[in-house]
């Protein structure tokens, strides 16, 4: 068996340098297999993934508040309702127009009649019983009946669109949750005036949670996106959870000599409180 030396593999690179490259060349693997004893124990903060301050899409009086602080909500769930009496009446009007086919049936009957008249005039013309003018008049009336029929069909379609538009306008009077989360604040009450500038309800998304860390530049290279780290909540909670690194900034803050790292912490049951301090090793 032929032996291949490190000198031959590297194409002339000294074995010492090759060993150095093999040990430190893969930064991601080194970060994941870092010696816990050499890791930096850093302060961190557990926060909601997002916090949404919801305001009304249109101006109006609040007629109902369906939730209270601390309630768990799902995406799309109705949280509050503005007065929508006017919008409901507009829907009823649009629905009556969309469901009415009186004009369409009338134009259909007219078209059938004009078709019969044209066919009769054409037969009479072919038998030299009636003048050409009679057939031409019947042909014009038939064409006008076809146009009236198309107009009636268009009106029916427009009425359906107006109905859908009216429903969409009324739906804007409902405040819905944009995420699965928890209500952290109800800032208005039934009977108050709401507008686009005034928040009504605040919802925090708490699954997953975000763990934010400002690490010293010396820790750069010790952690990579996808790494798993243990997050330890400080007393009095004193619990530990596994989290996954999702963000590692590559732009440093020169003033503080730090860079930002974010971890994602699953919280499907919502039992991990947000806004708590923690420690994590990087």
Instruction: Write out the chain's pLDDT in tens, 282 residues.
Output: 333 333 333 343 344 333 333 333 344 434 444 555 567 889 999 999 999 999 999 999 999 999 999 999 999 999 999 999 999 999 999 988 888 888 888 888 888 888 888 888 888 878 777 678 887 888 888 899 899 989 888 988 998 999 999 999 999 999 999 999 999 999 999 999 999 999 999 999 999 999 999 999 988 988 999 999 999 998 888 899 999 999 999 999 999 999 999 999 999 988 899 999 999 988
N residues, the chain: 282
**Residues 161, 155: Cα–Cα separation, whole Å:** 10
**Which residue do the tokens 């340098």 mark?**
17
Answer yes or no: are the C-beta atoms of 59 and 84 closer than 8 Å: no
Residue 135's pLDDT is what? 79
Specify the pLDDT at position 35. 55
Q: Which two tokens stand for residue 18?
A: 């090759």
Ordered DSSP codes for 6-75: HHHHTTS--HHHHHHHHHHS-HHHHHHT--GGGS-EEEEEEE-SEEEEEE-SS-EEEEEE---TT-EE-T
The CATH number covering residue 242 comes to 2.40.30.170
* The two three-digit tokens of residue 91, written as one number: 């829907």
What are 17's two structure tokens?
A: 């340098």
Task: Say yes or no: 231 and 275 in one domain.
Answer: yes
Residues 166, 95 share a domain: yes
Q: Looking at the structure, tell me whether residues 223 and 248 fall in a common domain.
A: yes
Q: What pLDDT sits at residue 38?
A: 66
> Is residue 16 included in any domain, yes or no?
no
- How many folded domains does the chain comprise? 3
pLDDT computed for residue 36 by the predictor: 56
Query: How much is the CA Rg of the chain, to the nearest whole Å?
Result: 36
* Per-residue H/E/C for 113-130: HHHHHHHHHHHHHHCCCC
Is residue 201 helix, strand or coil?
A: strand
The dihedral sign for the CA sequence 164, 169, 170, 171: positive
With H, G, I as helix, E, B as strand and everything else as coil, classify residue 145.
Answer: helix
Q: Tell me, yes or no, whether 159 and 104 share the same domain.
A: yes
Q: Are residues 221 and 238 in the same domain?
A: yes
Q: Are 28 and 224 a contacting pair, CB within 8 Å?
A: yes
pLDDT of residue 18: 34
Whether 195 and 212 share a structural domain: no
Q: Say what the pLDDT of residue 250 is.
A: 92
Same domain? For 109 and 217 the reply is: no
For 187, other C-beta atoms within 10 Å of its C-beta total 14
Residue 4 CA, chain-centre distance (Å), reads 58
Q: Say whether 183 sits in a helix, a strand or coil.
A: strand
d(CA 195, CA 65): 15
Assess if residue 120 is contained within a domain.
yes
Task: Please indicate, yes or no, if residue 99 is contained in any of the structural domains.
Answer: yes
Please report, for the domain that includes residue 67, its CATH number: 2.40.50.100
Q: Is residue 14 part of a domain?
A: no
Ordered DSSP codes for 72-87 = EE-TT-EEEEE--HHH
Is residue 111 included in any domain, yes or no?
Answer: yes
Output the pLDDT for position 139.
85
Question: Rounded CA gap, 2 and 9, in Å?
Answer: 13
Q: What pLDDT, on the 0 to 100 scale, is given for residue 22?
A: 33
> End-to-end alpha-carbon separation of the chain, Å?
45
Same domain? 220 vs 260: yes
Q: Whole domain around residue 70: which residue ranges? A: 52-82+174-199
Same domain, 124 and 257: no
- The DSSP H or E segment spanning 107 is helix 102-126
98 shares its domain with 231 = no
Whether residues 259 and 159 share a domain: the answer is no
pLDDT in tens, 160-211: 999 999 999 999 999 999 999 999 999 999 999 999 999 999 999 999 999 9
How far is Cα of residue 121 from the mean position of the Cα atoms in its chain? 63
Indicate whether 128 and 237 sit together in one domain.
no
pTM listed for this prediction: 0.68
**Residue 11, domain member (yes or no):** no
- In-domain check, residue 105: yes
């Amino acid at each position: 068996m032929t032996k291949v030396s490190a000198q031959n593999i590297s194409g002339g690179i000294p074995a010492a340098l090759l060993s150095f490259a093999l040990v430190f060349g893969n930064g991601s693997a080194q970060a994941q297999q870092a010696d816990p004893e050499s890791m930096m124990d850093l302060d961190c903060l557990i926060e909601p993934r997002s916090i949404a301050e919801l305001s009304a899409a249109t101006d109006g009086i609040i007629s109902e508040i369906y939730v209270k602080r601390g309630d768990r909500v799902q995406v799309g769930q109705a949280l509050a309702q503005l007065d929508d009496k006017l919008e409901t009446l507009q829907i009823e009007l649009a629905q009556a127009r969309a469901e009415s086919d009186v004009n369409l049936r009338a134009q259909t009957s007219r078209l059938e009649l004009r078709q019969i008249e044209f066919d009769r005039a054409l037969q009479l013309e072919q038998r030299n019983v009636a003048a050409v003018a009679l057939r031409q008049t019947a042909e014009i009336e038939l064409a006008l009946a076809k146009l009236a029929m198309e107009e009636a069909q268009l009106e029916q379609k427009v009425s359906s669109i107006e109905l859908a538009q009216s429903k969409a306008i009324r739906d804007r009077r409902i405040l819905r949750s944009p995420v699965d989360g928890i209500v952290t604040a109800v800032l208005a009450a039934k009977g108050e005036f709401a507008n686009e500038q005034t928040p009504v309800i605040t919802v925090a998304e708490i699954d997953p949670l975000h763990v934010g860390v400002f690490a010293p530049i010396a820790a750069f290279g010790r952690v990579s996106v996808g790494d798993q780290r243990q997050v330890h909540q400080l007393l009095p909670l004193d619990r530990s959870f596994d989290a996954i690194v999702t963000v590692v900034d590559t732009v440093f803050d020169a003033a503080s000599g730090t860079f930002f790292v974010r971890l994602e912490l699953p919280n499907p049951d919502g039992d991990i409180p947000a806004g708590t301090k923690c420690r994590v090793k990087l």
